A and B are shown apart, each in its own frame.
Chain A
């Protein structure tokens, strides 16, 4: 869990090298990502998602696809904030492992 959170924070920081948003300089659990009050616009979200998928594979060895139908139709977007997103990724990794 901690490692997933760190990857998210790391990706946000990297992304911010281009975006230069003050609130993204030191992201934490509660940093809002996308949606109401979120710091990323849809273009930045696309880059962020690709980046995360890559890092999760390279650093943790899991191949997951962050965008799926369930994620997109959830009442609470999994991309809401750092905490929600790490829980969601944890869930995805569990699921992927189940079917081998």
Chain B
């Protein structure tokens, strides 16, 4: 009975494909992408669009720019995936591409993001102190030297290990360690400066 039903159910819908994809590891998905699987690329996109966007958003300080940059990064990923050999984790590789895409855009922009330029995030309405905190956080990040900001964001948003950050940026582990420490100190100092000037 069950045996007779199963083939019909499987062919009628395609949840089985979806479940298999959702359960697949990044390694399996990148391999499938290399074999031309469109569904695997879509799954990677759905898995990483949000963190990639968050990273770009913090780096660029503008939601629209961030969307463009994150999309551009995914297109680059698609183009480069045939040559991806899995030396690093897919996420590390992706974040490196997002980071480089954003740095390129910042270089082209060649302007400091001022508080006026920091547009309101497209977010659900939240209490005003949260909005103020968010604005200040973004302002602080935009004032940090890009080298420090990048390691901090890869750690906090990308949740990469020090080894992975070192791989992503081509830096020695010791440099990642010291930059993260400096980044946090700088963040805190800028935060306090801004809080005082705001009072």
Q: Do A and B associate with each other? A: no
